[in-house]
């Protein structure tokens, strides 16, 4: 079986939320320690698609146009006076990820890694160039 393809994919079944979460967690596990230690309180959620409120807040018309989103305050903007706030969250949207996977032909694990790192980048306030460098650092 080709790298990045599992038995479920080979049978023609769409990968589950659990499979996408496993790819995302594997990506996080490969991050350099300097990043990983600051992700302990960040919640990772895999949902079917973004809700209407999230889409409206980002001025996005269709849920398949949003593969993931970071909700929280970047590390550099946090304060000791922040109390009672919800934990920072990374939302990955299964339907949008699968649509992009089908459209692009990119390996699913690579696509999930790309989206996960992009959202982690927002947590750290990274530039696009820094996000690409981090993505290269965790590549298989």
pLDDT band at 98; cut points 50, 70, 90: very high
Q: What is the CATH number of the domain that holds 109?
A: 3.30.2010.20
Q: What is the pLDDT of residues 5-63, one digit of tens each?
A: 444 445 578 899 999 999 999 999 999 888 888 888 889 999 999 999 999 999 999 99
Residue 100 lies in a domain: yes
Domain containing 92 equals 14-71+86-138
Full-model pTM: 0.83
> Is 81's pLDDT higher than 80?
no
In this predicted structure, what is the pLDDT of residue 83?
A: 63
* Burial (Cβ within 10 Å: 0-12, 13-18, ≥19) of residue 112: buried
In this predicted structure, what is the pLDDT of residue 8?
A: 46
């Amino acid at each position: 079986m080709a790298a990045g393809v599992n038995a479920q994919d080979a049978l023609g079944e769409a990968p589950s939320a659990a499979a996408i979460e496993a790819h995302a967690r594997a990506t996080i596990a490969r991050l350099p320690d300097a990043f990983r230690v600051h992700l302990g309180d960040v919640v990772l959620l895999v949902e079917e698609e973004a809700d209407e409120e999230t889409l409206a807040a980002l001025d996005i018309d269709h849920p398949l146009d949003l593969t993931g989103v970071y909700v929280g305050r970047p590390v550099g903007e946090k304060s000791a006076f922040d109390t009672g706030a919800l934990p920072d969250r990374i939302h990955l949207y299964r339907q949008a990820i699968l649509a992009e996977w089908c459209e692009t032909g990119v390996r699913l694990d690579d696509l999930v890694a790309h989206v996960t790192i992009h959202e982690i980048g927002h947590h750290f306030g990274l530039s696009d160039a820094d996000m690409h460098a981090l993505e290269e650092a965790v590549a298989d």
